[in-house]
Structure 1
Amino acid sequence: MNVPNTLTVLRVIMIPFFVLFMLGDITSVDKYIALGIFIAASLTDTLDGYLARKNNQVTNFGKFMDPLADKLLVCAAMICLMDLDRLPSWIVIIIISREFIISGFRLIAADNGIVIAASWWGKAKTISQMIMIILLVADFGGVFDMIGQVMIYLALVLTVVSLVDYIAKNKQVLKMQN
Protein backbone atom coordinates (compact mmCIF):
# COMPACT_ATOMS: atom_id res chain seq x y z
CA MET A 1 0.00 0.00 0.00
CA ASN A 2 1.44 3.38 -0.98
CA VAL A 3 1.75 6.39 1.35
CA PRO A 4 -1.36 8.27 0.12
CA ASN A 5 -3.56 5.20 0.61
CA THR A 6 -2.01 4.58 4.03
CA LEU A 7 -2.90 8.15 5.02
CA THR A 8 -6.47 7.59 3.83
CA VAL A 9 -6.76 4.42 5.93
CA LEU A 10 -5.21 6.27 8.89
CA ARG A 11 -7.89 8.97 8.52
CA VAL A 12 -10.63 6.33 8.72
CA ILE A 13 -8.98 4.79 11.80
CA MET A 14 -8.91 8.22 13.49
CA ILE A 15 -12.69 8.65 13.24
CA PRO A 16 -13.74 6.40 16.17
CA PHE A 17 -11.10 8.02 18.38
CA PHE A 18 -12.39 11.45 17.43
CA VAL A 19 -15.96 10.37 18.31
CA LEU A 20 -14.79 8.81 21.59
CA PHE A 21 -13.14 12.03 22.73
CA MET A 22 -15.98 14.24 21.42
CA LEU A 23 -18.73 12.34 23.20
CA GLY A 24 -16.88 10.53 25.97
CA ASP A 25 -16.01 11.87 29.37
CA ILE A 26 -12.50 10.47 29.60
CA THR A 27 -10.30 13.41 30.58
CA SER A 28 -10.63 17.10 31.32
CA VAL A 29 -9.19 17.90 27.89
CA ASP A 30 -11.36 15.63 25.73
CA LYS A 31 -12.46 18.38 23.36
CA TYR A 32 -8.85 19.43 22.72
CA ILE A 33 -7.82 15.84 21.98
CA ALA A 34 -10.82 15.53 19.64
CA LEU A 35 -9.86 18.84 18.02
CA GLY A 36 -6.29 17.63 17.51
CA ILE A 37 -7.50 14.38 15.99
CA PHE A 38 -9.87 16.22 13.64
CA ILE A 39 -7.19 18.66 12.51
CA ALA A 40 -4.68 15.84 11.97
CA ALA A 41 -7.26 13.83 10.01
CA SER A 42 -8.14 16.90 7.92
CA LEU A 43 -4.47 17.49 7.15
CA THR A 44 -4.05 13.88 5.97
CA ASP A 45 -6.79 14.62 3.43
CA THR A 46 -4.74 17.42 1.93
CA LEU A 47 -1.49 15.50 2.17
CA ASP A 48 -2.68 12.23 0.65
CA GLY A 49 -4.10 13.95 -2.43
CA TYR A 50 -0.97 16.03 -2.89
CA LEU A 51 1.33 13.00 -2.57
CA ALA A 52 -0.80 10.84 -4.86
CA ARG A 53 -0.67 13.42 -7.65
CA LYS A 54 2.96 14.44 -7.09
CA ASN A 55 4.29 10.88 -7.02
CA ASN A 56 1.90 9.53 -9.66
CA GLN A 57 0.37 7.17 -7.08
CA VAL A 58 -3.30 7.70 -7.88
CA THR A 59 -5.07 4.35 -7.44
CA ASN A 60 -8.62 3.07 -7.76
CA PHE A 61 -8.55 2.39 -4.01
CA GLY A 62 -7.63 6.02 -3.37
CA LYS A 63 -10.23 7.35 -5.82
CA PHE A 64 -12.91 5.45 -3.91
CA MET A 65 -11.68 5.59 -0.31
CA ASP A 66 -10.37 9.16 -0.12
CA PRO A 67 -13.74 10.86 -0.68
CA LEU A 68 -15.44 8.22 1.46
CA ALA A 69 -13.00 8.85 4.32
CA ASP A 70 -13.67 12.59 4.04
CA LYS A 71 -17.43 12.08 4.16
CA LEU A 72 -17.16 9.73 7.14
CA LEU A 73 -14.96 12.19 9.04
CA VAL A 74 -17.13 15.25 8.37
CA CYS A 75 -20.42 13.41 8.94
CA ALA A 76 -19.18 11.86 12.21
CA ALA A 77 -18.07 15.29 13.42
CA MET A 78 -21.37 16.94 12.50
CA ILE A 79 -23.40 14.19 14.18
CA CYS A 80 -21.30 14.62 17.35
CA LEU A 81 -21.81 18.39 17.22
CA MET A 82 -25.53 17.86 16.71
CA ASP A 83 -25.60 15.54 19.75
CA LEU A 84 -23.83 18.25 21.78
CA ASP A 85 -26.38 20.89 20.61
CA ARG A 86 -23.74 22.90 18.75
CA LEU A 87 -25.15 22.24 15.28
CA PRO A 88 -28.85 22.17 14.31
CA SER A 89 -30.09 18.79 13.08
CA TRP A 90 -31.79 20.25 9.97
CA ILE A 91 -28.44 21.59 8.77
CA VAL A 92 -26.75 18.24 9.36
CA ILE A 93 -29.54 16.50 7.42
CA ILE A 94 -29.13 18.85 4.43
CA ILE A 95 -25.34 18.46 4.38
CA ILE A 96 -25.41 14.66 4.73
CA SER A 97 -28.19 14.42 2.12
CA ARG A 98 -26.01 16.33 -0.34
CA GLU A 99 -23.22 13.82 0.23
CA PHE A 100 -25.53 10.88 -0.49
CA ILE A 101 -26.91 12.54 -3.62
CA ILE A 102 -23.43 13.29 -5.00
CA SER A 103 -22.18 9.79 -4.12
CA GLY A 104 -25.12 8.28 -5.99
CA PHE A 105 -24.47 10.58 -8.91
CA ARG A 106 -20.81 9.53 -9.00
CA LEU A 107 -21.75 5.83 -8.91
CA ILE A 108 -24.08 6.24 -11.89
CA ALA A 109 -21.41 8.20 -13.76
CA ALA A 110 -18.70 5.64 -12.96
CA ASP A 111 -20.99 2.83 -14.08
CA ASN A 112 -21.18 4.61 -17.43
CA GLY A 113 -17.43 5.19 -17.67
CA ILE A 114 -17.55 8.86 -16.69
CA VAL A 115 -15.22 10.28 -14.06
CA ILE A 116 -16.47 13.47 -12.48
CA ALA A 117 -13.77 15.69 -11.02
CA ALA A 118 -14.33 17.77 -7.91
CA SER A 119 -15.29 21.35 -8.65
CA TRP A 120 -14.13 24.56 -7.04
CA TRP A 121 -17.51 24.77 -5.29
CA GLY A 122 -17.08 21.29 -3.84
CA LYS A 123 -13.62 22.14 -2.54
CA ALA A 124 -14.88 25.40 -1.03
CA LYS A 125 -17.73 23.44 0.59
CA THR A 126 -15.29 20.96 2.14
CA ILE A 127 -12.96 23.68 3.43
CA SER A 128 -15.86 25.66 4.92
CA GLN A 129 -17.24 22.54 6.62
CA MET A 130 -13.85 21.68 8.11
CA ILE A 131 -13.32 25.23 9.40
CA MET A 132 -16.86 25.21 10.81
CA ILE A 133 -16.22 21.92 12.60
CA ILE A 134 -12.88 23.10 14.00
CA LEU A 135 -14.49 26.27 15.40
CA LEU A 136 -17.45 24.37 16.87
CA VAL A 137 -15.30 21.66 18.44
CA ALA A 138 -12.83 24.21 19.86
CA ASP A 139 -15.76 26.11 21.42
CA PHE A 140 -13.55 29.08 22.38
CA GLY A 141 -16.51 31.36 23.09
CA GLY A 142 -16.69 35.09 22.55
CA VAL A 143 -16.19 36.29 18.99
CA PHE A 144 -15.44 32.69 17.93
CA ASP A 145 -19.07 31.78 18.63
CA MET A 146 -20.18 34.42 16.13
CA ILE A 147 -17.59 33.27 13.58
CA GLY A 148 -18.74 29.68 14.14
CA GLN A 149 -22.35 30.67 13.44
CA VAL A 150 -21.32 32.47 10.25
CA MET A 151 -19.36 29.38 9.19
CA ILE A 152 -22.39 27.14 9.78
CA TYR A 153 -24.46 29.13 7.31
CA LEU A 154 -21.59 29.62 4.88
CA ALA A 155 -21.01 25.85 4.86
CA LEU A 156 -24.75 25.30 4.33
CA VAL A 157 -24.90 27.75 1.41
CA LEU A 158 -21.78 26.27 -0.20
CA THR A 159 -23.21 22.78 0.27
CA VAL A 160 -26.38 23.68 -1.63
CA VAL A 161 -24.56 25.72 -4.30
CA SER A 162 -22.05 22.91 -4.88
CA LEU A 163 -24.92 20.42 -5.24
CA VAL A 164 -26.72 22.58 -7.80
CA ASP A 165 -23.44 23.25 -9.66
CA TYR A 166 -22.56 19.55 -9.65
CA ILE A 167 -25.93 18.50 -11.07
CA ALA A 168 -26.03 21.32 -13.63
CA LYS A 169 -22.57 20.47 -14.96
CA ASN A 170 -23.27 16.75 -15.07
CA LYS A 171 -26.94 16.55 -16.04
CA GLN A 172 -26.03 14.10 -18.83
CA VAL A 173 -25.58 11.50 -16.07
CA LEU A 174 -29.29 11.76 -15.25
CA LYS A 175 -30.17 11.02 -18.89
CA MET A 176 -28.16 7.77 -18.80
CA GLN A 177 -30.62 6.11 -16.44
CA ASN A 178 -33.89 5.33 -18.18
Structure 2
Amino acid sequence: MAMLKWLPNILTSLRIVLTVVWIYLIRLVEVNEAHKTLINAAVILFIIICLTDLIDGKVARKTKASSRFGSYFDVTADLIFISSSNIVLSLYGLVPRWFILVIIFKFSEFLITSKLIKKYDDLKSSFFVFDHLGRVAAVNFFLIPGAFMLGYEGLDLRYGYILLYITLMLVIISAFSRIWRCHKVWNKMRTREKFV
Protein backbone atom coordinates (compact mmCIF):
# COMPACT_ATOMS: atom_id res chain seq x y z
CA MET A 1 0.00 0.00 0.00
CA ALA A 2 2.90 2.38 0.73
CA MET A 3 4.05 1.93 -2.87
CA LEU A 4 0.67 3.18 -4.13
CA LYS A 5 1.22 6.45 -2.25
CA TRP A 6 4.41 7.00 -4.27
CA LEU A 7 2.94 5.91 -7.61
CA PRO A 8 1.67 9.38 -8.68
CA ASN A 9 5.12 10.95 -8.11
CA ILE A 10 6.80 7.99 -9.84
CA LEU A 11 4.54 8.55 -12.88
CA THR A 12 5.36 12.28 -12.82
CA SER A 13 9.09 11.50 -12.59
CA LEU A 14 8.70 9.08 -15.49
CA ARG A 15 7.10 11.88 -17.54
CA ILE A 16 10.17 14.07 -16.99
CA VAL A 17 12.54 11.27 -18.03
CA LEU A 18 10.39 10.45 -21.07
CA THR A 19 10.37 14.15 -22.00
CA VAL A 20 14.17 14.09 -22.28
CA VAL A 21 13.94 11.01 -24.54
CA TRP A 22 11.12 12.67 -26.55
CA ILE A 23 13.26 15.79 -27.16
CA TYR A 24 16.14 13.57 -28.28
CA LEU A 25 13.78 11.71 -30.67
CA ILE A 26 12.52 15.00 -32.14
CA ARG A 27 16.14 15.92 -32.87
CA LEU A 28 16.80 12.51 -34.46
CA VAL A 29 13.66 12.80 -36.60
CA GLU A 30 14.81 16.20 -37.85
CA VAL A 31 18.41 15.11 -38.48
CA ASN A 32 17.43 11.84 -40.16
CA GLU A 33 14.91 13.49 -42.46
CA ALA A 34 11.81 12.07 -40.78
CA HIS A 35 12.79 8.38 -40.69
CA LYS A 36 9.56 6.33 -40.33
CA THR A 37 10.76 4.21 -37.36
CA LEU A 38 11.86 7.30 -35.43
CA ILE A 39 8.57 9.04 -36.11
CA ASN A 40 6.61 6.01 -34.90
CA ALA A 41 8.75 5.82 -31.76
CA ALA A 42 8.20 9.54 -31.13
CA VAL A 43 4.42 9.19 -31.56
CA ILE A 44 4.29 6.21 -29.17
CA LEU A 45 6.42 8.06 -26.63
CA PHE A 46 4.18 11.12 -26.95
CA ILE A 47 1.12 8.99 -26.18
CA ILE A 48 2.84 7.48 -23.11
CA ILE A 49 3.79 10.98 -21.86
CA CYS A 50 0.18 12.13 -22.24
CA LEU A 51 -1.09 9.02 -20.42
CA THR A 52 1.26 9.60 -17.47
CA ASP A 53 -0.15 13.12 -17.17
CA LEU A 54 -3.70 11.82 -17.33
CA ILE A 55 -3.15 9.00 -14.84
CA ASP A 56 -0.93 10.51 -12.13
CA GLY A 57 -3.59 12.88 -10.77
CA LYS A 58 -6.30 10.22 -10.87
CA VAL A 59 -4.07 7.77 -8.99
CA ALA A 60 -3.21 10.44 -6.40
CA ARG A 61 -6.89 11.15 -5.75
CA LYS A 62 -7.85 7.47 -5.73
CA THR A 63 -5.12 6.50 -3.25
CA LYS A 64 -5.59 9.71 -1.22
CA ALA A 65 -1.95 10.56 -1.93
CA SER A 66 -2.58 14.14 -3.06
CA SER A 67 -0.03 16.54 -1.63
CA ARG A 68 1.23 20.05 -2.15
CA PHE A 69 4.56 18.63 -3.37
CA GLY A 70 2.80 16.27 -5.80
CA SER A 71 0.67 19.10 -7.22
CA TYR A 72 3.65 21.37 -7.78
CA PHE A 73 5.72 18.47 -9.12
CA ASP A 74 2.96 17.63 -11.63
CA VAL A 75 2.70 21.23 -12.83
CA THR A 76 6.51 21.42 -13.08
CA ALA A 77 6.61 18.21 -15.16
CA ASP A 78 3.89 19.63 -17.41
CA LEU A 79 5.84 22.85 -17.86
CA ILE A 80 9.03 20.92 -18.66
CA PHE A 81 7.30 18.82 -21.33
CA ILE A 82 5.23 21.62 -22.86
CA SER A 83 7.93 24.29 -22.93
CA SER A 84 10.83 22.07 -24.03
CA SER A 85 8.76 20.40 -26.77
CA ASN A 86 7.54 23.67 -28.16
CA ILE A 87 10.96 25.33 -27.89
CA VAL A 88 12.60 22.50 -29.83
CA LEU A 89 9.85 22.48 -32.45
CA SER A 90 10.17 26.26 -32.78
CA LEU A 91 13.93 25.86 -33.37
CA TYR A 92 13.03 23.62 -36.32
CA GLY A 93 10.57 26.22 -37.62
CA LEU A 94 7.41 24.23 -36.88
CA VAL A 95 5.97 26.16 -33.91
CA PRO A 96 6.11 29.97 -34.03
CA ARG A 97 8.44 31.45 -31.41
CA TRP A 98 5.80 33.83 -30.06
CA PHE A 99 3.87 30.79 -28.86
CA ILE A 100 6.62 30.10 -26.29
CA LEU A 101 5.73 33.47 -24.71
CA VAL A 102 2.07 32.40 -24.62
CA ILE A 103 3.06 29.25 -22.70
CA ILE A 104 5.20 31.19 -20.22
CA PHE A 105 2.44 33.76 -19.76
CA LYS A 106 -0.25 31.12 -19.12
CA PHE A 107 1.79 29.16 -16.59
CA SER A 108 2.79 32.36 -14.76
CA GLU A 109 -0.77 33.68 -14.78
CA PHE A 110 -2.10 30.31 -13.58
CA LEU A 111 0.30 30.19 -10.61
CA ILE A 112 -0.27 33.82 -9.61
CA THR A 113 -4.06 33.82 -9.95
CA SER A 114 -4.35 30.44 -8.20
CA LYS A 115 -2.43 31.84 -5.25
CA LEU A 116 -4.48 35.05 -5.11
CA ILE A 117 -7.85 33.33 -5.49
CA LYS A 118 -6.99 30.76 -2.82
CA LYS A 119 -5.69 33.44 -0.47
CA TYR A 120 -8.61 35.84 -0.75
CA ASP A 121 -11.41 33.35 -1.38
CA ASP A 122 -10.31 30.96 1.42
CA LEU A 123 -10.40 27.91 -0.84
CA LYS A 124 -9.08 24.81 0.90
CA SER A 125 -10.12 22.11 -1.55
CA SER A 126 -7.05 21.91 -3.77
CA PHE A 127 -3.57 23.34 -4.22
CA PHE A 128 -4.41 25.13 -7.47
CA VAL A 129 -7.54 26.83 -8.77
CA PHE A 130 -8.56 25.47 -12.17
CA ASP A 131 -11.02 26.78 -14.73
CA HIS A 132 -12.57 24.89 -17.63
CA LEU A 133 -11.07 26.97 -20.43
CA GLY A 134 -7.66 26.86 -18.77
CA ARG A 135 -7.87 23.07 -18.58
CA VAL A 136 -8.72 22.85 -22.28
CA ALA A 137 -5.82 25.18 -23.07
CA ALA A 138 -3.50 22.96 -20.98
CA VAL A 139 -4.67 19.87 -22.88
CA ASN A 140 -4.01 21.72 -26.13
CA PHE A 141 -0.54 22.69 -24.89
CA PHE A 142 0.11 18.95 -24.61
CA LEU A 143 -1.46 18.11 -27.99
CA ILE A 144 0.29 20.80 -30.06
CA PRO A 145 3.74 19.11 -30.07
CA GLY A 146 2.07 15.83 -31.07
CA ALA A 147 0.11 17.52 -33.84
CA PHE A 148 3.27 19.07 -35.28
CA MET A 149 5.13 15.74 -34.97
CA LEU A 150 2.34 14.12 -36.99
CA GLY A 151 3.26 16.61 -39.70
CA TYR A 152 6.20 14.29 -40.36
CA GLU A 153 3.65 11.51 -40.94
CA GLY A 154 1.91 13.62 -43.58
CA LEU A 155 -0.71 15.38 -41.44
CA ASP A 156 -1.35 18.84 -42.88
CA LEU A 157 0.41 21.32 -40.58
CA ARG A 158 -2.56 23.67 -40.93
CA TYR A 159 -4.32 21.48 -38.32
CA GLY A 160 -1.47 22.15 -35.91
CA TYR A 161 -1.75 25.89 -36.52
CA ILE A 162 -5.54 25.81 -36.10
CA LEU A 163 -5.02 24.08 -32.73
CA LEU A 164 -2.36 26.64 -31.85
CA TYR A 165 -4.64 29.63 -32.55
CA ILE A 166 -7.59 28.02 -30.75
CA THR A 167 -5.26 27.56 -27.77
CA LEU A 168 -4.20 31.20 -27.96
CA MET A 169 -7.85 32.29 -27.79
CA LEU A 170 -8.51 29.94 -24.86
CA VAL A 171 -5.48 31.32 -23.01
CA ILE A 172 -6.63 34.92 -23.51
CA ILE A 173 -10.21 34.22 -22.39
CA SER A 174 -9.10 32.04 -19.46
CA ALA A 175 -6.53 34.60 -18.28
CA PHE A 176 -9.04 37.44 -18.52
CA SER A 177 -11.67 35.50 -16.54
CA ARG A 178 -9.15 34.46 -13.86
CA ILE A 179 -7.80 38.00 -13.49
CA TRP A 180 -11.36 39.31 -13.31
CA ARG A 181 -12.12 36.72 -10.61
CA CYS A 182 -9.07 37.90 -8.64
CA HIS A 183 -10.32 41.47 -8.97
CA LYS A 184 -13.82 40.54 -7.72
CA VAL A 185 -12.47 38.47 -4.82
CA TRP A 186 -10.09 41.27 -3.84
CA ASN A 187 -12.91 43.85 -3.92
CA LYS A 188 -15.11 41.56 -1.85
CA MET A 189 -12.33 41.20 0.72
CA ARG A 190 -11.79 44.98 0.88
CA THR A 191 -15.52 45.55 1.35
CA ARG A 192 -15.57 42.97 4.15
CA GLU A 193 -12.60 44.69 5.85
CA LYS A 194 -14.41 48.05 5.78
CA PHE A 195 -17.32 46.63 7.74
CA VAL A 196 -15.17 44.83 10.32
* TM-score, length of structure 1 as denominator length: 0.83
Q: Which has the larger radius of gyration?
A: 2
Deviation at 1:96, TM superposition (A): 2.0
What letter corresponds to residue 6 of structure 1 in structure 2? I
Shift in alpha-carbon separation, 1:174–1:17, aligned structure 2, 3 A: farther
Report the Cα distance in structure 1 between the residues aligned to 2:168 and 2:179, rounded to whole angstroms.
Answer: 17
Give the Cα–Cα distance (whole angstroms) in 2 for the partners of residues 168 and 111 of structure 1. 15
| TM superposition shift of 1:48 | 0.7
Task: Say whether residues 1:103 and 2:115 are aligned partners.
Answer: no
- Displacement of 1:74 in angstroms is 0.8
Q: CA deviation at 1:173?
A: 6.3
Is 1:132 paired with 2:136? no
Q: How does 1:57-96 map to 2 (within 5 A)?
A: 57-96=65-104
1:87 CA displacement: 0.9
The offset of 1:79, in angstroms, is 0.6
In 2, Cα distance between the equivalents of 1:32 and 1:84? 19
The equivalent position to 1:16 in structure 2, one of 12, 20, 23, is 20
Structure 1: gaps of 5 or more residues: none
Distance 2:186 2:20 in 1: 35
The alpha-carbon distance between structure 1 residues 10 and 173, as it changes in their structure 2 partners (threshold 3 A), is farther
Distance 2:150 2:47 in 1: 11
Shifted more, 111-120 versus 41-50: the winner is: 111-120
Over 3 Å counting, the alpha-carbon distance change for 1:67 and 1:175 in structure 2 is farther
1:141 — aligned with what? Answer: 154
Q: Which residue of the partner structure matches residue 122 of structure 1? A: 134
Tell whether the 8 Å contact from 2:9 to 2:70 is kept in structure 1 after alignment.
yes
In 2, are the aligned partners of 1:105 and 1:173 still within 8 Å (CA)?
no
**2:37 maps to 1:3:** no
Distance 1:106 1:22, change over 3 A: same
Question: Unpaired segments of 5 or more residues in structure 2?
Answer: 190-196
Note the 1:23-38 alignment, pairs <5 A.
Answer: 23-24=27-28, 25=31, 28=35, 29-38=37-46
Q: TM-score, structure 2 length as denominator?
A: 0.76
- Superposition CA RMSD, Å: 2.7
**Percentage identity across aligned positions?**
22
Q: Which one is further off, 50-59 or 164-173?
A: 164-173
After TM superposition, give the deviation of residue 108 of structure 1 in Å.
5.6
2:25 counterpart letter in structure 1: F
Count of residue pairs the alignment pairs up: 175
Q: Which has the higher helix share?
A: 2
1:42-61 map, 5 Å: 42-61=50-69
Conserved 8 A contact 1:8-1:65: yes
